[in-house]
Chains A and B, each alone.
Chain A
Amino acid sequence: MKILRFQHLLIMSAMCLWTQMVAAQDAPAASGTAAEEPATTAPATNPPAPRPLPEEKNWRFGVALGFGERTNPLIQSEDIPVLVDLDIAWFGERWFFDNFDLGYELVDSQNFTTNIVARVNSDRAFFGKTNAKYINFSYLGGGALGPAVDPGTGELVEQPLKFKPPKRDYAVEAGFEMLMDGEWGMAALRAFHDVSGTHGGYELSADYGFRWIRGRFSIAPSVGVSYKDAALSDYYWGVHEDEATFLLPAYDVEGGFGWEAGLRTSYYLTRSLRLAVSANYERLPHSVSKSPLVEDEEVLGYFAGFAWQF
């Protein structure tokens, strides 16, 4: 298990401090001059009946600029920088496009919404930042150093071997989601199956989140658990027979549960602009974390920057 890097801990600590500072800043201001000048003001009044809000636009567009990072559990890979995050969505009468999820509303009631959705699998994102390495092998025996022997072929390994994690394709998955919300927060149940013939597997997930607003500060924790079956997990994280080498032994990944947790905070500066700080954590399924392709059993992400909502 890889211990969290100092850089990550520092960012987590800064986030906690930021939370406390902002909460303190939004405490009600003290009455300043009541003693020196008699107040001739009206007391707090009841809120007037709110006017009906203008109809929402079909489009939603937001952009966040700042600095963040998402660790990459894949061997010989780089962490994924997060400098820009876009929020692009369009909601029609029933069809919607929400950040590359394409959906159609089946049921929308007071208690829940059910959609049919097509999306792109997220595991593939880790395979976009891989590096090739040349590795020398030698064997020490009888006090002398000699070339190593490939146990698979029995041949001598005399030249440095080029090694790069295997390639994986994007998968398009289709499925159903059931969304609920209330004063208790928001929850979602999802079931997706590959429809692109990439991995042929499925994923089930459940998420819960809550948003709390105090003054201009908003904090939204969320947790989620997911089950990815053997076909999906093995396609991305297994070492297939045709990929197995002297360096990378064959490995079959079984289906398993993973979980994740996140914290999103915002401090609204104006109606459109806010400071956004977020952190998230994902624990990979046990069988995935034991794969020779995986060097970390967890994924950690963070971001701090300004977000603009158009």
Chain B
Amino acid sequence: MLARLSIIIAGCLGVAMNAVAADPLPVTLVVKPLLCVIDKNETACTITFDVRWKSVLAAEYCLNDSTRPTPLRCWPRADSGEHSQERVVSEEFVFWLSPATGTERVAEAKIEVLRVGSDDRRRERRARHVWDVL
């Protein structure tokens, strides 16, 4: 028991140390949330996305998404930025950060869509028994 616990603690410490030792990425993009969950009677979900980015080097960056041909927002020379936007989501798409003068994606985040339930009404109507977990 003690040995097993020691292994788990050592494993966790190892993961934590690796996280500390790893080189920071040049640009990080964090988007919350990353998942849109849609019930079977709905066609879309309304989400307020919280987008934050950080860069080791200050530069001009633009935030893009795959549903628009033009950038959502551009920042003048900066090493970090935040953006909040409410959107109606019905399909998967990608946020990405690019230099203001180029198309290269320096960081990206995919927004996924999960439709709960089945389009086959026979399956959807056949709910599992109250005892079942899933």
B119 touches A56 (CB 8 A): yes
- C-alpha spacing A105/B125, complex, angstroms: 12
Which residues on A sit within 8 Å (CB–CB) of B14?
none
- A68 within 8 A of partner (CB): yes
A271 touches B35 (CB 8 A): yes
Which residues on A sit within 8 Å (CB–CB) of B73?
39-41
- C-alpha spacing A86/B90, complex, angstroms: 30
- C-alpha spacing A50/B44, complex, angstroms: 8
Which residues on B sit within 8 Å (CB–CB) of A213?
37-39, 42, 116
Partner of A215, one of B33, B49, B119: B33
A45 touches B131 (CB 8 A): no
A268 touches B35 (CB 8 A): yes
Partner of A301, one of B50, B90, B131: B131
B130 touches A261 (CB 8 A): yes
B90, chain A: closest CB distance, angstroms = 4
For the complex of A and B, the 3 pairs showing the least CB-CB separation, nearest first, are A262-B130, A179-B125, A47-B44
B62 and chain A: residue at smallest CB distance: A40
A33, chain B: closest CB distance, angstroms = 4
- C-alpha spacing A87/B126, complex, angstroms: 13
- Number of A-B residue pairs, CB cutoff 8 Å, is 162
Kindly specify which of A24-32, A243-251, A289-297 makes contact with the partner chain: A24-32
Q: Mark B117-134, 1 if CB is under 8 A from A, else 0.
A: 111111111111111111
What are 17 contact pairs spanning A and B, CB under 8 A? A29-B48, A30-B84, A31-B48, A32-B84, A40-B73, A44-B86, A45-B88, A50-B91, A91-B123, A99-B132, A113-B126, A122-B129, A122-B131, A216-B37, A261-B130, A264-B133, A307-B133
Partner of B131, one of A48, A53, A70, A181: A70
B125 touches A32 (CB 8 A): no
- C-alpha spacing A39/B63, complex, angstroms: 12
Partner of A41, one of B44, B72, B119: B72
Kindly specify which of B3-11, B16-24, B74-82, B97-105 makes contact with the partner chain: B74-82
B78 and chain A: residue at smallest CB distance: A37
- C-alpha spacing A62/B87, complex, angstroms: 31
- C-alpha spacing A113/B127, complex, angstroms: 12
A180 touches B86 (CB 8 A): no
A113 touches B125 (CB 8 A): yes
Which residues on A sit within 8 Å (CB–CB) of B134?
62-64, 85-87, 276, 307, 309
Q: Mark A175-217, 1 if CB is under 8 A from B, else 0.
A: 0000111010010100000000000000000010101010110
Partner of B35, one of A29, A207, A270: A270
Partner of A48, one of B75, B84, B90, B126: B90
Which residues on B sit within 8 Å (CB–CB) of A180?
125
B63, chain A: closest CB distance, angstroms = 9
Given the interface pairs A37-B81, A218-B116, A268-B114, the reply to whether A44 lies near B46 with Cβ below 8 Å is yes
Which residues on B sit within 8 Å (CB–CB) of A63?
134
Which residues on A sit within 8 Å (CB–CB) of B121?
108, 113, 181
Which residues on B sit within 8 Å (CB–CB) of A87?
128, 132, 134
- C-alpha spacing A47/B133, complex, angstroms: 33
State which residues 34-83 of B face A: CB under 8 Å.
Answer: 35, 37-39, 41-44, 46-50, 52, 67-68, 72-75, 81-83
A29 touches B125 (CB 8 A): no
B120 touches A91 (CB 8 A): yes
- C-alpha spacing A34/B122, complex, angstroms: 48
Which residues on B sit within 8 Å (CB–CB) of A303?
133
* Extra contacts besides A113-B126, A207-B130, A262-B131 (10): CB < 8 Å: A30-B84, A39-B83, A50-B44, A99-B128, A115-B126, A180-B125, A216-B37, A276-B133, A280-B131, A305-B133
- C-alpha spacing A68/B125, complex, angstroms: 26
